[in-house]
Amino acid sequence: MSIIAWEKDQTIAIIRMNNGENRQNLDFAKSMIQTLDEVIADKETTAVILTSTDSKYWSLGVDIDWLGKQLQNQDFQNIKDFMYGMDEVFKKLLLLPVPAIAAINGHAFGNGAILSCACDFRFMRSDKGFFCFPEVDLGIPFLPGMTAFVKKSIPYHKFNELKLTGRKAAAAELEIHHVIQKASASETDLINDALAFAGTFQKKRGIFAELKKRMHKEIIRIIDQEDPEYIESLFLMVQE
C-alpha cells in the first residue's frame, strides 16, 4: 500500500496518509508532493480533505528514527532534501486552488500539527487525539516559514501558549479558540462534517488561487528566502 493515496468522493479529493503514525521523512515528502500534483491536475476537484487511515494517529511529525540514521551516516543532503520537500508540501497546500481541509482523526504532533496548519481549515474528532507542538521540549526550532503559516491558522496568543509550553490540546479547546472549525463527536462524524463543509465550496479555481496567492505572499517569501539559511546550515537540528 502506498504511504499516501487519494480517491474522489464526487468532486472532493480525499487524501489519506497510510503509514500508521505517518512519520514524515524524505519518502513521505516525495509522496505527498506527487499526490498533491495529481489532485491539482484533476480539474474537477473542488476541495481536498487530508486525513489518516489510522484511527489513533493523524501524523506524529518528523520520523526521528529516519533522521537519526541520516545523521549517523552523515547523509546531510537527505535531511536538506527532506526539509525542502516539506516546504514544497506546505507551499502547495497554501497555494492550492481549492480548499484544503485537514480532518484530524488522531494525534497531530510536531510537524504533523504544523502540516494541518498549512491547510485552510481544520476539523478534529473530540473523542480521541491531541494537538501538540513538542519542539520546545525536543529542542527542535520551527523554521521561519512554519512560524509564519501557523500564525495564520492559530490566534497568536494561543500559538504563543502552545508553542512555548509544548502542552497537548484537545479538540474542544481548539474549537473555542477557532483553531478548528468543529470538534466532531466521532471519527465517522469527523469525515461526514469535513465532507459536508467541503461540499459547500464550488468556487472558481482562478479567483480562489489568486486570493490565496495574495493572502500568503509574505509567507511564501519567508519560506523561499529565509528558510534556506537554516536548512543549509542544518540549524534545524537539536538546540540545547
Range of the domain at 40: 4-185
Please check whether residue 225 lies inside any domain of the structure: no
Per-position DSSP letters for the chain, written without gaps between them: --SEEEEEETTEEEEEE-STT--B-HHHHHHHHHHHHHHHH-TT--EEEEEES-SSEEE--B-HHHHHHHHHTT-HHHHHHHHHHHHHHHHHHHH-SS-EEEEE-SEEETHHHHHHHHSSEEEEESSS--EE-THHHHT-PPPHHHHHHHTTTS-HHHHHHHHHH---B-HHHHHHTTSSSEEESSHHHHHHHHHHHHTT----HHHHHHHHHHHTHHHHHHHHHTHHHHHHTTTTS---
Please check whether residue 193 lies inside any domain of the structure: no
Please check whether residue 101 lies inside any domain of the structure: yes
Q: What is the pTM of this model?
A: 0.96
* Residue 205 confidence (pLDDT): 95
Query: Domain tally for the chain?
Result: 1
Q: Are 131 and 168 within 8 A, CB to CB? A: yes
* Residue 149 confidence (pLDDT): 98
Please check whether residue 171 lies inside any domain of the structure: yes
Domain CATH code at residue 60: 3.90.226.10
Please check whether residue 135 lies inside any domain of the structure: yes
* Residue 234 confidence (pLDDT): 83
Please check whether residue 84 lies inside any domain of the structure: yes
Please check whether residue 154 lies inside any domain of the structure: yes
Please check whether residue 21 lies inside any domain of the structure: yes
pLDDT, one tens digit for every residue, the chain (240 residues): 699 999 999 999 999 999 999 999 999 999 999 999 999 999 999 999 999 999 999 999 999 999 999 999 999 999 999 999 999 999 999 999 999 999 999 999 999 999 999 999 999 999 999 999 999 999 889 999 999 999 999 999 999 999 999 999 999 999 999 999 999 999 999 999 999 999 999 899 999 999 999 999 999 999 999 999 999 998 655 555
* Residue 1 confidence (pLDDT): 67
